[in-house]
Chains A and B, each alone.
Chain A
Amino acid sequence: MFRTDTIAAVATALNDSGIGIVRISGEKAIEIADSVFFTKSGRRILREVPSHTIHYGLIKDLRDGTVIDEVMASVFIAPKSYTAEDTVEINCHGGVLAVQKVLETVLQAGARLAEPGEFTKRAFLNGRIDLSEAEAVMDVIHSRNEMALRASVDQLQGKLEEKIRGIRQEILYEIAFIESALDDPEHISLNGYPEKITEKLDNVISDINSLLQTADSGRMIKEGISTVIVGKPNVGKSSLLNMILGQERAIVTDVAGTTRDILEESVKLRGVHLNIIDTAGIRETEDTVEKIGVEKARKYAEDADLILYVADTSQALDENDREILNLIKGKKIIFLLNKSDLEQKISEQDILSLTSGENIRMVHTSAKEKEGMEDLEREIEELFFSGHLIQNEEIWITNLRHKEALQNTLDSLLLVKKSVEDRMPEDFYSIDLMAAYASLGSILGEEVGEDLIEEIFSKFCMGK
């Protein structure tokens, strides 16, 4: 949709907190709010009040004059509002029902229900926010846990923008230098320049690399951490899943190989969103159905962000454990030493002897006695917050388009490096420097490619 009509929607999540905001934006926002908002003494005041003021009053049903809710209304006059249009925000206090009724009243008074992301779209189109901010807002809307929210909020505040802008500025300087040396060789010399730019390039490349390394973590934040439970058959994987989920989801028997396929569940532990996959126990098997399950387990384990390796401590480790551990080498692993209620045949030391990695995390659990859950939650949280999954504490790339643009930037810069190494004339550097500059610009929305616009607006449900 592309018009300046007035839109309204509930701008906060609908929950039982009791407070909700109805936001109205557009040319007639103030007029519409004014028609339903009354002071205690029954006066309409919103048209007269200054911008950025908040007012106590009542929302009344226009049809019968009944009071719907006691509210606070804030008025923002264009362009100093989120959307850069006239905006009124009504803070409702009467719970979910009241918020919805206030919205209905506003719609009856002439506003149109906003489409998803439409406030943000307007903010962007009105030049209030740049593209990376707009996308971050969209990510807020779509984000699924608190960590993701933190990443989104950081981007929103322009940390990503600042970082990208800084890198972009450095690239621009080099382009400008080369160009001016070509145009004014008398006053600007390129002597020794290949060495200079190599140093610069190495710095910029490492900056971009560290941003890129956050990209996978960023994806995890948004989409949840892909977590796979693996282990030999009948070590208690399914029981542990049930414990983590807090419900009986997986069928548990004493027969090894009960779980023949893959179970996938979503759970949030201390604000960290996990997508947990329970797999068939990994072993050599002749059973065809189970065999498929084992194959799948291997595959999932390979793609996992986090592996929960379950070992039955009442049985000694064997060749099978060794093979599985070999399979998941290099992964982020938490060892769950299960069946801690039984006689212990293996120790932490035994596990350590099988793995070469540092920083091994181990948790003693007893699925049967429901013990060890708290320790596990703490380990996961620590892993997450300690920066093992996120290398850059400040800026995370949570957006696939940003990741691609950064990757393109990196590729271009590597090509510049190659030109330097191949001892190409300096004027060749600018071709790929320009490309890198443009790629970074696409993150900020400063390079307008038609594809980009279409891609962004598809997210905004543009309508036909």
Chain B
Amino acid sequence: MSEIREKVDVCVIGAGHAGCEAALACARLGLETVIFTVSVDSIALMPCNPNIGGSSKGHLVRELDALGGEMGKNIDKTFIQSKMLNVSKGPAVHSLRAQADKAEYSRAMRKVLEGQEHLTIKQAEVCELLWEDLSENFPVDSLSQADSSASNDKKDLNKSGETAGVGRTAEKKVTGVKTFTGAVYECKAVILCTGTYLNARCLCGEAITYTGPNGLQAATHLTESLEKMGIVLRRFKTGTPARMDGRTIDYSKMEEQFGDERIVPFSFSTDPETIQKDQASCWLTYTNQETHDIIRANLDRSPIYAGIIEGTGPRYCPSIEDKVVKFADKERHQVFLEPEGLQTHEMYVGGMSSSLPEDVQLAMYRTVPGLEHCKIVRNAYAIEYDCINANQLYPSLEFKKIRGLFAGGQFNGSSGYEEAACQGLVAGINAAMEIFGREPLIMDRSESYIGVLIDDLVTKDNREPYRMMTSRAEYRLLLRQDNADRRLRKKGYEIGLISEQQYQDLLMKEELIEREIVRLKETKVGAGQEIQRFMEAHGSVPLKTAVSLAELLCRPELNYENIAEIDRERSSVFEEYQSYGRYMTSDGKLSREIIDQIEIEIKYEGYIVRQKRQVEQYKKLEKKEIPSDINYDQVPSLRLEARQKLKEFRPISLGQASRISGVSPADISVLLVYLEKTKSNS
């Protein structure tokens, strides 16, 4: 009997948001790539909410785009409503969110994949990873020697029954994958993007089906193979609300939610002019006491409260049952009705995910104003799946113990399309970097939300699906969605996913911003009558002495547009700027994109400077690399817990080490001193 054997560079398992980005990155970098999916019809499926972006997630998408990812471009092609959130707050928390036409989004992404050179789509369930042992070539961690040297610790080590495998296991290298039908694909790297499909089961009250999202086939074989390789799996759960037949909804009882008048694209490569269009509306309504009563009366029938679900769910994306229990004093909760697409009547009921039984769901939804006569197209359900604790990964998203094996997306314990896509991109890039023998792409917490996301995933003790939030980023005034290209395009260019032309555009943009800021700082206006009249007209305190235009811009009531009146040089300068083509509007003015950068940099200069100082402080420990061959048993005076955690996590820098729970500042001091000592000794 013969079997199919193929040789490629990279195998990507799963074609969700992570898988698509991973596969596209590898193929675009010239690597022969196969992407496996259980159903080609569900490439880039959005099984939950019909939108991309949102608070802090919008940042992720823009960063992904700056690095050369696809999600931003794809939503620009397929959105049906777009909104910049939090505009009343500071620029750091402005965030873009777009409603997608789900079917179109999926189709458009499939088209991109199909059109990509070096990329093959394969409908097949991968059942097994192939690997070889590297233990003969690699020295086993020197734990055994250390046992004799540190007598005190040895006692305690035995007592605590510490995870003996850590540091002892032989290293492996992944060599390929095998499908259910027996086909073998030999490769140099494998990227696991299995999402919620591994041993998935869906729960709708007492009804349980062993399927992935939307009734799709679950992947039931791979877990065993992963466990054989020494990967530790765990179980998480997440949920989705019901979809309603839009014709049965009474919108007159709801508040209409419109998109923005002026649409800002996600992708830095999309020309804003090309995407201005009529938008669909969303609708806001609320739960009430009656809704909550029904939920409370039926809590015993919820699989979570009845103890049927073992997986841990996300606190930050709670089901309506959770909200009613946790915010018991709240009289109502928001409910958003969002269209699933333009070619369907289906409406997503945002804010009311649930795993209650079908009959309770219907009763509960029908208490909500506007949903009194609703008909459910798809029931709400909870889904449970196998995933990993990402502390088994390096920040490059490669498994510490298995060379060539990378992982991204919900498999790593995250939630959300955007989080998945970003990890997929980074895993894809780093698989390629490893094959090319180049340095991996590792971003720190001061460079991007993606850096924060991955650092949190691989360093912290995450006990529930990880969702990105603004509060997770310490340096968010620097990590704005509006400057993602200025932060990351260069990296994308160096990696090879950003074209020369795109990079040149960025340099041009930087130059234009710089020129105009310098001009505003150098242009003074005197305290003449005309100026004072202008100040008065704008409710601004009159000038005492001459000031620069930049200083005027610092006043909250003044902005780049309204100071045009007293900026006499402006029109002549704009003529000089005409060479900056795409950053000037058709009527010869600076584009919004540039004005935003100028205003933010000038208005918030003091804050930006202070935040940069904080970053410098942070970077000091971040730059202190910990050698990969460090033997923590030889570091004296480390507390036992810290020693165990450090051996388990093997952080790449002192900074990362300092964020591991169980490692105290005193331990970091010890490590710092130890590293200094070993450095000066060598």
Contact = CB atoms under 8 A, between A and B. Distances in A.
Contact of A426 (B55, B89, B673): B89
A427 B90 contact: yes
Interface stretch (A158-166, A181-189, A214-222, A364-372): A181-189
Interface in A400-452: 415, 422-428, 431-432, 434-435, 438, 445-451
Contacts of B610: 415, 431-432, 435
B667 A423 contact: no
Interface size class of B (residues with CB under 8 A): 35 or more
A179 B470 CA distance: 8
B591 interface: no
Contacts of A130: 666
Nearest to B677: A2
B636 A3 contact: yes
A110 to B, nearest CB: 17
B669 A182 contact: no
Given A427-B89, A427-B90, A448-B621, A182 B470 contact: yes
A187 B470 contact: no
A446 B664 CA distance: 8
B444 to A, nearest CB: 16
A27 B636 CA distance: 11
A427 B92 contact: yes
A445 B665 CA distance: 7
Contacts of A426: 89
Interface stretch (A119-127, A249-257, A374-382): A119-127
Contacts of B330: 187
Contacts of B471: 179-180, 182-183
A453 interface: yes
B652 interface: no
Interface in B77-104: 86, 88-90, 92-93
A360 to B, nearest CB: 45
Could you say which of B471, B474, B604, B617 has the most chain A C-beta atoms within 10 Å of its C-beta?
Answer: B471
B665 A422 contact: no
A8 B673 CA distance: 22
Interface string B260-293: 0000000000000000000000000000000000
Contact of A125 (B333, B617, B673): B673
B607 A431 contact: yes
Nearest to A86: B152
Contacts of A422: 556
Interface string A182-218: 1100110000000000000000000000000000000
A453 B658 CA distance: 14
A443 to B, nearest CB: 12
A448 B673 contact: no
Given A2-B636, A428-B607, A183 B316 contact: yes
Interface string A153-185: 000000000000000000000000001101100
Contacts of B491: none
Of the candidates B316, B327, B637, the one having the most CB atoms from chain A within 10 angstroms of its own CB is B637
A244 B184 CA distance: 97
Contacts of B470: 179, 182-183, 427
A425 B672 contact: no
B146 interface: no
A449 B669 contact: no
A127 B474 CA distance: 27
B435 interface: no
Contact of B680 (A424, A432, A464): A464
Contacts of B658: 448
Contact of A187 (B89, B327, B664): B327
B620 interface: yes
Contact of B667 (A127, A179, A449): A127
Contacts of B617: 438, 449
B666 A183 contact: no
B67 to A, nearest CB: 25
B99 to A, nearest CB: 19
Contacts of A448: 621, 658, 665, 668-669, 672
Contact of A182 (B89, B621, B637, B674): B89
A457 interface: yes
A78 interface: yes
Contacts of B674: 2
Contacts of B620: 449-451
A4 interface: yes
A126 B316 CA distance: 38
A126 B635 CA distance: 12
B301 to A, nearest CB: 26
Contacts of B93: 182, 425, 427
Nearest to B150: A4
A428 B600 CA distance: 13
A182 B89 CA distance: 9
A446 B55 contact: no
A425 B88 contact: yes
Contact of B666 (A125, A415, A423, A432): A125
A154 B92 CA distance: 43
Nearest to B621: A450
Nearest to A429: B90
B346 to A, nearest CB: 24
Contacts of A438: 614, 617
B477 interface: yes
Interface in B453-473: 469-471
B103 to A, nearest CB: 29
A350 B636 CA distance: 70
Contacts of A423: 556
Interface in B630-682: 636-637, 639, 658, 664-670, 672-674, 677, 680
Interface string A15-33: 0000000000001000000
A431 B666 contact: no
B319 to A, nearest CB: 15
Given A432-B610, A434-B614, A124 B666 contact: yes
B333 A186 contact: yes
A353 B212 CA distance: 94
B611 interface: yes
B248 interface: no
Given A425-B89, A426-B89, A464-B680, A445 B614 contact: no
A426 to B, nearest CB: 7
Contacts of A122: 637
Nearest to A178: B471
Contact of B611 (A27, A127, A431, A446): A431
Contacts of B637: 2, 4, 122, 125-126
B589 interface: no
B539 to A, nearest CB: 13
Contacts of A186: 333-334
Given A422-B556, A438-B614, A457-B673, A183 B469 contact: yes
Contacts of A449: 617, 620-621
A125 B669 contact: yes
Interface in B464-491: 469-471, 474, 476-477
Interface centre among B89, B639, B664 (most CB of A within 10 A): B89
B373 interface: no
A129 to B, nearest CB: 9
A94 B55 CA distance: 74
Interface string A104-130: 000000000000000000101111001
A449 B327 CA distance: 40
A127 B639 contact: yes
Given A431-B614, A453-B673, 5 more contacts: A2-B637, A78-B152, A125-B666, A415-B610, A448-B621
7 contacts: A2-B636, A427-B89, A431-B611, A434-B474, A448-B665, A453-B672, A457-B673
Pick the 7 closest A-B CB pairs, nearest first: A179-B471, A425-B90, A127-B666, A425-B89, A448-B665, A427-B90, A450-B620
Interface of B: 55, 86, 88-90, 92-93, 152, 316, 327, 330, 333-334, 469-471, 474, 476-477, 556, 604, 607, 610-611, 614, 617, 620-621, 624, 636-637, 639, 658, 664-670, 672-674, 677, 680
